[in-house]
Each structure stands twice: as C-alpha cells, then as structure tokens.
Chains A and B, each alone.
Chain A
C-alpha cells in the first residue's frame, strides 16, 4: 500500500495494476498452480511422458463405480433436500405462518447449513446409529427395529439422510428471497383473471422460479459431490464415494499409480465445474425476473 499519491499518469497506471497483484499472486500460488500441477500430471506417465492412459483408467473398474455412487448420492440429496427446502421456503413465505417463525427459522437454517463434517456425522450416529436415540426409541416404544428392516446408517440411504441435513437449509436460505421476489401484482393479476392457486404456481410462479430452482439444485449437487469429512467420519471410509477414494489414494497410493489419482481429482473438478457454471448461468437468468 503506497502512502502517497502517484505523481504522473503513467506511474498511476502501474500502481493501478499493482493493487490487485497480491490477490492474484495468492490465487496463482494457492489455487491455480496446485490444481494445475494435478491436472498436468494426469496426462503424464510416472516417467513424465504424455499419455491418455490415466484418463482412460478412469473408465476401468473400480473408479466408475465410485463416481457413480457419488453422483447418485449427490443427485438424491440435491433433489430430496431441494424439495424439502422449497416446501419449507414456500410455507415460510406464502403460508401465512406466524411472523416470528421466520427470522428464527432462517438463522437456524444458517446454522444447519454450516453444521457439516465430523460433528454432523456424530449427531446422526447418536440419532440413527445402532444404539442411537431414534433407533432405540422406535425399537422400545413402537417395536420397530429399523436395522432388522434393512436400514443401515453407514449406507447410501444413511449418508444421504445425513447430507440432507445441510442440503435442505441451503435450499431454504436461497429460495426464501427468490419466492419473495415474485411480485404481488403477478399473483393479483392471476387471481383477477380467475386462476386457482394451482394454476398460478403451474403457469406463473414455477416457470419464473425455475432457473433459480434448477441452479440451486446444481449448487446442492456440487455441495454433496465435494463433501469428504462427513462421509469419512460417518462410514470410516467404507462407502466408496469418489472423495473417499481420492483420500485413500493420497494416504497410500492404493491404485499403484499416483497419476491415476490425479486424474480422479481432475474428473471431480470437471464435474464440479459443470455444476457451478450451470449454477451461475441460471442464477443470472433468474435475476432478470427476480430483482
């Protein structure tokens, strides 16, 4: 930071550029170069020659299964969490609920959407694990043993239920302002023309909210796809989602080819990039209507 104003226009130009230099240098050294070094080596053999074998290796078992499991869990929790979050946002904005519920619920959602990782896994183990509160309650009071019925917390469904805990509050937080952006006049106009609630939502409300809805679901998908800590603490690395596989590869080169591990990371980033690009694009479209 300079303490004096530059004297000549020419020097001023140099200074203007320098103002952003620390930020971009930081980004280069701690975001772009580390990721680029992974990506470059996913196109190399261990000896350093160019190859596409690592990328091809992504399509050989067991890697596609891991990607597929991650994609299914992310899609399931994005849709499930999205639906639940949207319903709750609808209830809060359009449902004539008492006013005081709103700030309280939104703060709670802010907390819950940040309550991920190890503590969240513990909370679900204490609730739905074999000796968890709800499991025991169902068994002793209602006589239902969910584990005998085939439920397992350390499985697809268990991990999905856990992920939903941070997924649906995020949906709620984004959808409440979006639904509020629907102008009162649109609703009144629809009512004056004789539309039912259902018709208003189907013909006006949902189409306007659609970009925002889809965008947020993509965001939720990416949110679950990149998660590692929750899954690791919950399943101890047994459920082979892609982040767990990359973690195992980092700990001890389980694939016997470090560069295949880099290719797995590249594949993840490619999928995340599609999600986030889609999200930003859809968000921009929805801003046209909802200001």
Chain B
C-alpha cells in the first residue's frame, strides 16, 4: 500500500521543490549578467555602491529594532498577566492580536493617515498634535504600525513560551523571596522566554525590513520604497537585492529554527 504511492509522492515533492527553486535560481543567474557576455558580481557592486542603499537599509533596521522593543514591552507583560491573573481575558487579547489579519496594511495606513495627519481631539480637547508633520513623530507612527503588524507573530511566540513554563509557581517562588513585578518580569520571565522572544524578534525583523506599504504611504526613507523605486529604472540591481533580501530572510528563519530547536531539545531529536 505504501510502496505504490511513493513515486507519486516524489512527483508532488518535485513540483513543489521546482516552484521553490526556479524563481530563486532564475533571479540569481539574472543578477550575475549585468555586463553583457560575462558572469560577474557587478550588479551587486553597483547596488551596494549606491549611498541610498545603505541609508535606507540602516533606517529600516533601526525601525525594526524599535519595533521589536516596542512589541516586547507591550506584549510580554500583557501575555504574562493574562496567564497569571486574567485568563478570562485571553480570548479578548487573542482577538486583538488577530486584527492585523483582518485589517490589511493598506487599510491600516489609510486609517493612520486619516486620523493622525490632523490633531486628534477628544471632546474638544486636543490629545495629540498632528503626528505626520515632523520626522520624529512620523517615525513613531511607523513603529506603531509595524508593532501592529508584528502583533500576531510576537504574541503567539510569547504565549507559546509562557505555556512551556510554570508561570504561577515561578511567580510565587519569586514573590516569596521578595521580588517585585519588575524583577519578576526582567529576571525570571524574560530569561525563560529567551528562545521564544528571539524567534518572535527575528520574524518581526523579516517582516519589517523590506516592508513597502506603510513606509511608502507615510513617506519614510525606508528600504522597501527604495527597492520599489530602484525597480522602476534598473534591471539587474533589483535582482541582486532580491537575492540579498532572500538570504537575509533565510538567515532569520534558520536562526529561529536553531533557537526553537534548542529549547525543545529531546522532542526534536526523537523525530530523526
């Protein structure tokens, strides 16, 4: 029964594998052909030599770091509190973390521009000035939007991490030794969540660094809009940068694999 399906399985697998590989291979070959008639890295050299590349890439990385910090600050205490004290609120919190799947990035940034491009007033009192007028406040808006995009992934990572430990006992033990909430979170919960946090952070990084929609509508000098612009008037450099981005995503995912495998240890080893 199993023997006869094996060739079919290989066929299915090969179709999928070709779909994975052909565009990558094609892009890689294409990116090496900038100079007519020879294979070389000149497209990569040209792409990296553009000062705008480094500028926008750095900007996006800084935004990614701030996004990761903001989401950690927001989600770790929340998820911890839900586990410890407010389990009834779990579904409400999960509902909120699913919202980015319901509200696509283009609608989110539409709402941001509508709401925050003029001062926000509540009952006639201004609570925010217009946030799109200065670079700093627009960057903050961008970080908040990215934090929203990262919400489902980050929450799931932290929640899984918390499920894997005994939150209540750890907390009670720490409390009986005189630790306050800050100490508990920073020195007990965070270290135990290390691999979960790292995988959430890497995923966030992969989402944020090449992001186009929100960065372009908030007019930020980020890597995604730079790439899109480059694609309009160059042929080989975009291919080169696509390969570089893919390699970066690969590194991030590979690290996630490595990190989460370490935490599960025996379970993964048993499957081999």
Residues of A in contact with B (beta carbons under 8 Å apart): 1-5, 16, 19-20, 22-24, 26-27, 29-31, 33-35, 37-38, 41, 84-85, 87-88, 90-92, 94-97, 99, 101, 103, 105, 107-112, 114-115, 117-128, 131-134, 164-165, 168-169, 172, 191, 196-197, 219, 222, 225-229, 232-233, 236, 243, 246-247, 250, 261-262, 265, 268-269, 272-273, 276, 280
Contacts and interface: CB of A to CB of B under 8 A. Distances in A.
B206 A114 contact: yes
Interface residues of B, number: 92
Given A2-B181, A5-B175, A168-B19, A96 B104 contact: no
A115 B207 CA distance: 9
Interface stretch (B61-69, B80-88, B159-167): B80-88
A91 B13 contact: yes
Tell me the interface secondary structure of chain A in the complex: helix
Contact of B93 (A20, A168, A225): A20
A112 B105 CA distance: 20
B200 interface: no
A147 B15 CA distance: 23
A247 B111 CA distance: 12
B180 A272 contact: no
Contacts, number: 275
Contact of B256 (A16, A97, A110): A110
Contact of B249 (A92, A111, A133): A111
A103 to B, nearest CB: 7
B36 interface: no
Contact of A122 (B2, B4, B109, B242): B242
Question: Quick one: which of B8, B100, B111, B147 has the most chain A CB within 10 A?
Answer: B111
B250 A269 contact: no
A72 B182 CA distance: 51
A250 B113 contact: yes
Given A117-B212, A229-B213, A247-B106, A222 B101 contact: yes
Contacts of A276: 98, 101-102
Contacts of B27: 122-123, 126-127, 133
Contacts of A280: 98
Contact of B238 (A90, A125, A232): A125
Contact of A228 (B106, B111, B182, B206): B106
B57 to A, nearest CB: 13
Interface in B206-227: 206-207, 210-213, 217, 224, 227
Interface in B72-99: 74-75, 77-78, 81-82, 85-86, 89, 93, 96, 98-99
A112 B20 contact: yes
A269 B102 contact: yes
B185 interface: yes
Contacts of B108: 31, 34-35
Instruction: Tell me whether chain B's interface is mostly helix, strand or loop, or mixed.
Output: helix
Contacts of A105: 13, 17
- Which are the 9 A-B pairs with shortest beta-carbon distances? A95-B9, A34-B111, A226-B104, A133-B26, A127-B26, A88-B16, A3-B180, A126-B30, A229-B212
Contacts of A23: 74-75, 78, 93, 96
Contact of A96 (B6, B93, B111, B175): B6
Contacts of B25: 133
B190 interface: no
Nearest to A261: B110
B170 interface: no
8 contacts: A19-B77, A20-B81, A23-B96, A31-B148, A118-B210, A197-B1, A225-B104, A226-B101
Contacts of B257: 103, 107, 110
B5 interface: yes
B34 to A, nearest CB: 12
B231 interface: yes
A168 B123 CA distance: 49
A101 B13 CA distance: 10
B51 to A, nearest CB: 20
A54 to B, nearest CB: 14
A19 B31 CA distance: 51
A265 B110 contact: yes
